[in-house]
Amino acid sequence: MAAPSSSRPVDTDVRPAQETGLESADAAATPGHVLSGSGYLPSVIPHDLLAGVVAAHRRLLDLAGGLHDDVLRRPSGLPGWSVAHLLTHLARNADGHRGMVEAASCGEVRKQYPGGQQQRDDDIAAGQDVTVEAARAELTEAVASLERAWDAAHVDAWRTGRGWVSSYGDTSLADLVFLRWREVEIHLVDLDLADLGGPSWTDLGRAYVEVEWAWTVRGLPARLPADVTLLLAPGDRPSTAVGRGDRLVVVDLPTLPALAWLTGREPGAPTWPDLGPWS
C-alpha cells in the first residue's frame, strides 16, 4: 500500500511480493515457453478485499471526524449499544485483527480475542463514557496499525497463515480481511448516523454486497430449521435454494432487503423461518 521512498535505490531484480514463486512475464515471453489459457497469474494476496476494507475504513474515519460528544451518547441501531460502544468495538476489533496478522507473519496462530468473550464484552463496555477525541484517536490508531500489519505481511503468510475467530475457528488471512470488511460496512450502518452523513442499508457498496451474499448464503444451511428449504428469489440475481426440508419457504425480496433479513437487521415476514445466529 505504501509507495517506496524515492531516496532508496530501486533493485530491478526484485519482484512484487505477490509474484514470489510465480513465473514472471519475462519467463512467459521466452521462446518455446508455453502458457496454458490466458497466462493470467492470480495473486495470493486478496487485493480486492483489501481495497474494499481500506475504503470502508476511510468512510468510517471521515464519519467519526465529524462527531461530537453528545452523538456518542446516542443509541445506535443495535439494541443496547450506543454510538460510543460501536466505535470502541470497531477499534478493538481492528486490534484483534492486527494481532492475528502479526502472529501469522511469525508462523503462529493467535485468537482474535485472547481473553475470549469476556475480553470482547469488557472492551466494548469500556467505551461507554469515552470522549469523542479519545474515541477518534483510538479508532484512527487501531485502523492505521491494522493496515500496516496487512502491508507488512509476507506473501508466505498470505498463502498459509491463519488466525482464530470464535465463529469459524482457524480462518485464512484472506477470509479474515473479508470479516474485517464486513465488520466495518455493517457497523457503519448500525451507527444509525444518516442525519450526519452516515450510510443506510441501501448505501452498501456493490463489491461488498457480492462477497457478503456469497458468504451469507454459504453459511445459511446451518441456520435453517431442519424441516425448511428456503428459496431465495431476489429477482436481481439468480435464485438459490438452500436446505433439505419438506417445507418450502420463498423469500422474494431483492438482494439488499433480503440481506437485511439474513443478517438479522430486519425481522422479515411472519411466515419466514427463524434463523440461527448470523456470523
**Tens digit of each residue's pLDDT (9 = 90 or more) over 142-161:** 999 999 999 999 999 999 99
Quote the CA–CA distance of 267 and 278 in Å, as a whole number. 13
According to DSSP, the residues that pair with 228 across neighbouring strands are 247
Q: How distant is the alpha carbon of residue 81 from its chain centre?
A: 20
**Tens digit of each residue's pLDDT (9 = 90 or more) over 80-138:** 999 999 999 999 999 999 999 999 999 999 999 999 888 888 888 888 889 999 999 99
In the prediction, which pLDDT does 40 show?
72
- With a cut of 80, say whether residue 269 has pLDDT above it: yes
The pTM of this model reads 0.84
* Distances from the Cα of 124 to the Cα of 43, 85, 168, angstroms: 36, 6, 21
According to DSSP, the residues that pair with 170 across neighbouring strands are 164
**Tens digit of each residue's pLDDT (9 = 90 or more) over 53-83:** 999 999 999 999 999 999 999 999 999 999 9
Say how many CA atoms lie within 13 Å of 241 toward its Cβ: 8
- With a cut of 90, say whether residue 24 has pLDDT above it: no
Q: How many residues are listed for the chain in this entry? A: 279
Q: Is 240 helix (H, G, I), strand (E, B) or coil?
A: strand
Give the domain 47-203 fold: Four Helix Bundle (Hemerythrin (Met), subunit A) (1.20.120)
Quote the CA–CA distance of 87 and 89 in Å, as a whole number. 5
Q: pLDDT class for 141, splitting at 50, 70, 90?
A: very high
Quote the CA–CA distance of 55 and 228 in Å, as a whole number. 38
- With a cut of 50, say whether residue 172 has pLDDT above it: yes
Q: Where do the structural domains in the chain lie, given as residue ranges?
A: 47-203, 222-262
**Tens digit of each residue's pLDDT (9 = 90 or more) over 178-230:** 999 999 999 999 999 999 999 999 999 999 999 999 999 999 999 999 999 99
End-to-end CA distance of the chain: 29
